[in-house]
Structure 1
Amino acid sequence: MDAKVRSEEKFAKLSIAYEGKDEGKLVCSTIDEITSKYKTKPETYTCTISNKKEVVVIEYHDDIDRQAGPIFEEIIKALNITICD
């Protein structure tokens, strides 16, 4: 599993690449569990990047207060992701 964060004014996105159904279930359940604790809700979607890998994307729009950063950190730590660009 690896992750990439992109942030601009009022916008933040975390992309997490994973492989296989088991990793996919873990990633999605972790994201759901963590994001459900917060008032601000993200847009999420999944796409395939190769035959075996998929990416789940979590986007916060109008993130004026920069609330996404701590949420992304919590997700990354919960999933034990060590590579994050």
Structure 2
Amino acid sequence: MDAKVRSEEKFVKLSIAYEGKEEGKAVCSTVDRIISKYDIQPEMYTCNLSNKKDVVVIEYHDDVERVAGDIFEEIVKALNIKIED
């Protein structure tokens, strides 16, 4: 598993690449559990990166209070993954 963050003014996106059904279940359940604790809700989608990898993308728009950074940090720590620049 690995992750990549992209941010601009009032917009931030976390992409988490994973391989296989087990990693997919772990990512989705962790993301859902953590996001449900917060009032601000993201747009989310999943896409196929290659034959073996999929990616879940979590996007926050109009994040004036910059809450998404804390949420992303919590997700990354819970999944014990590294963030690529």
Q: Same fold per TM (> 0.5)?
A: yes
Q: How many residues align?
A: 85
CA RMSD across the alignment:
0.7
Distance apart, 1:83 and its partner CA: 3.8
Distance apart, 1:84 and its partner CA: 3.1
TM-score, normalization by structure 2? 0.97
> Any stretches of 5+ residues in structure 1 without a counterpart?
none
CA contact 2:5–2:83 (8 Å) conserved in 1: no
> Any stretches of 5+ residues in structure 2 without a counterpart?
none
Identical positions, percent: 76
Moved over 2 A (4+): 82-85
TM-score, normalization by structure 1? 0.97
Partner of 1:16: 16
Partner of 2:29: 29
What whole-Å deviation, never above 9, does each CA across 1:6-43 have from its counterpart, x for those lacking one?
Answer: 01001000000000000000000000000000000011
1:5-84 to 2 correspondence within 5 Å? 5-84=5-84
Distance apart, 1:65 and its partner CA: 0.9
